Amino acid sequence: MENIKSKEININFSGKLVSLGPLRSDLVPLYNRWNNDFQTTKTLATTGPVILEEEIAAFKQISQNKNFLFFTIYEKHTLQPIGNTFLSDINYKNRTAEFNIVIGEKDSRGKGYGTEVAKLVLDYSFQTLGLHNIFLKVFEFNKNAIRAYEKAGFIRCGRRRQAHFSRGQKWDIIYMEALASEFESSACQNDLH
């Protein structure tokens, strides 16, 4: 893991394991490294190489788009950036959005960070943004992510059969959702309400 130091890190809220803060322009090269690690991106919809100039342009575009809400994920005790999470396609009229997460640092996987991030984002989505339905898509081969999402409160709500081609094989896409009316808020240590 790279040693990223900054004069000041803004933290929006924290759980027991992770803290979430806004995207940072000084971390764009790190985000770019994560987006070019094919072991990391094999679970994402896009898996092609991304040059730094594309990453910089994407950073500028998403930071101005009100239908997206991005956070940098930090390991709470070291404040080292370990990934990103975001809501996309936010629809305030229908109170819906799509959840996405990338744990970019390999040594940060399998430690419960993804589950806690999902809980934090759900809590923020429901309690602060007033959203009601958050959904996600996950490839059937990503069993660890499916377990993490289920622990966070997502339930399976559909399947698109053989709709993703990866590693020479066709895979199903599993759809999962969480509803505000079924979610128990407990992840945040900071008061979001």
Could you tell me the pLDDT band of residue 36, with boundaries at 50, 70 and 90? confident
Of 114, 101, 32, whose CA–CA distance to 69 is shortest? 101
- Pick 13-136's CATH classification: 3.40.50.620, 3.90.226.10, 3.30.1780.10, 3.40.630.30: 3.40.630.30
pLDDT, tens only, 151-173: 999 999 999 999 988 878 999 99
pTM: 0.88
For 135-143, what is the mean pLDDT?
95
CA 60 to chain CA mean position, Å: 19
Contact between 101 and 116 under an 8 Å Cβ cutoff? The reply is no
Strands 18-21, 69-75: pairing kind: antiparallel
Could you tell me the pLDDT band of residue 46, with boundaries at 50, 70 and 90? low
Task: Please provide the distance, in angstroms rounded to a whole number, between the alpha carbons at the two ends of the chain.
Answer: 33
**The predicted structure's pLDDT at residue 63:** 84
149 in active site: yes
Residue 12 pLDDT > 70, yes or no?
yes
**The predicted structure's pLDDT at residue 193:** 39
The one catalytic residue among 31, 92, 149, 175: 149
| CA–CA separation, 103 and 107 (whole Å) | 9
